[in-house]
Amino acid sequence: MPTASATSHPSSTLSTSTAPVREKPLMPEPQIAAIAVEKAYRKGDHQVPVLHGVDISVHKGEFLSIVGQSGSGKSTLLHLLGLLDAPDVGEVQLDGQRIDDLSERTRDELRNRVFGFVFQFYHLLPELSLMENVLVPLMIRHSIWGYWQRRREYQDRAREMIDRVGLGHRLTHRPSELSGGEMQRAAIARSLVARPEILLADEPTGNLDQATGRGIIELMAKLNEQERLTIIMVTHDQLIAAEAHRTVKLREGRIEPA
């Protein structure tokens, strides 16, 4: 099977440039953007600055990869974009609207409906089976009664998603019974089952061997192409970063052109 991502590159209409506003007539507005965000962690008395004014914007259907040294603030940036944390300075915009200062309830809602998260360390819930783990976003979205009524539909959707990541034979297994690659694929299935608009993936291949990692990247590229899913992926691996439309580099909390 030919690699989907490789073939998709030339046909992509998206620019790989780091300057987002230049393409205004083509792409009127970025889907998600971080504007001059700064973030520092407070450790006792002194502050540990992590991000020093990062600007980043991503259009709908774009596949962006973020690279950078360990500790450069990649995960922190991703968390800010995905509303898992709030910036000290600057703002995060979704479709031109500021979202980082919304009420907690609305941010919960956005996390559930707009973003799909794949974590560096999978973060599956150990008490639940693979199937249930994948269903969690849908369970969170719907009330008990609403979920119960349409559970067949949702289960079918989850099963389909799990099939797509190639884990159809592992439905009832617990995370502890899965390998690292399988857990990562399960995490991807979970992040996609609720049909998010933006997928935020934090080193989805970091703990995997080359071949498995490549399989996962191919899956993401395919989703990006077929469903115009916006993907922002953090990675260490230059080869994997090359699969994206565009790569940005973080160094000591600042964006550098790749």
Partner 1 sequence: MYKLILCQRYLRTRYIALASVISVTLGVATMIVVNSVMAGFSGEMRERIKGVLADVVIETRSTDGEPDAESHKALVRELIGKYVAGVTATVEMYGMLSFEYGGQFIPHPVTLIGIDPESKSEVGPLVDYLQSYHAQPDGKEVTPAERPLDQKPGWELTASAIERRQRVAEITHQRAQMLRELKKQRHGEAGQHEPAPRGAADDPFAELDGAVQNVAMQDVAAIAQPQDGRVYIGAGLISFPHKDEQSGEMRTVFMVRPGNDVKITTATAGIPTGAYFDATVVDVFQSGMSEYDSNFVFCNLEHLQKVRKMIRTNEDGSESRAITSVQIRLKDYRDSDKVVELLRTEFTPDRYTVRTWEQKQGPLLAAVDVESSILNILLFLIIAVAGFGILAIFFMIVVEKTRDIGILKALGASSSGVMSIFLSYGLSLGMVGSGVGVVAGLLFVHYINQIEGIITIITGHKVFDERIYYFKEIPTHVDPFTVCWVALGAITIAVVASILPARRAARLQPVQALRHE
Ligand X SMILES: Nc1ncnc2c1ncn2[C@@H]1O[C@H](COP(=O)(O)OP(=O)(O)OP(=O)(O)O)[C@@H](O)[C@H]1O
Distance CA(234)–CA(69), nearest Å, equals: 11
Q: Are 99 and 83 in contact (CB under 8 A)?
A: yes
∠ CA 123-94-143, nearest 5°, is 55
Near ligand X in 70-129, by CB under 6 A: 70-76
Type and span of the H or E element at 41 = strand 32-43
Paired tokens of 31: 């889907």
Partner touching 43 among Mg ion, ligand X, partner 1, none, CB below 5 to 8 Å by kind? ligand X
Near Mg ion in 34-93, by CB under 5 A: 75
Question: Is there binding between residue 182 and partner 1 (CB under 8 A)?
Answer: no
Question: Is there binding between residue 43 and ligand X (CB under 6 A)?
Answer: yes
Question: Is there binding between residue 50 and ligand X (CB under 6 A)?
Answer: yes
Least spacing, CB of residue 236 vs ligand X, in Å: 6
Region binding partner 1 by CB under 8 A among candidate stretches 6-14, 24-32, 82-90, 235-243: 82-90
Tell me the three state secondary structure of residue 40: strand
Sign for the CA dihedral angle at 147, 148, 150, 155 comes to: positive
Least spacing, CB of residue 237 vs ligand X, in Å: 11
Q: Are 253 and 51 in contact (CB under 8 A)?
A: yes
Size of the site for partner 1 (CB under 8 A): 32
Residue 37 or residue 194: which is nearer to Mg ion going by CB? 37
Question: Is there binding between residue 222 and partner 1 (CB under 8 A)?
Answer: no
Paired tokens of 8: 């998709």
Binds partner 1 by CB under 8 A, chosen from 14, 20, 67, 119: 119
Strands 198-202 and 115-118 come out as parallel
Question: Is there binding between residue 89 and partner 1 (CB under 8 A)?
Answer: no
Could you write out the DSSP letters of every residue in 55-86? EEEE-TT-EEEEEE-TTSSHHHHHHHHTTSS-
Size of the site for ligand X (CB under 6 A): 12
Least spacing, CB of residue 17 vs ligand X, in Å: 23
Type and span of the H or E element at 52 = strand 46-58
Give residues in contact with ligand X (CB under 6 A): 41, 43, 48, 50, 68, 70-76
Give residues in contact with partner 1 (CB under 8 A): 79, 82, 84-85, 104-105, 108-113, 117, 119, 123-128, 132, 136-137, 139-144, 147-148, 190
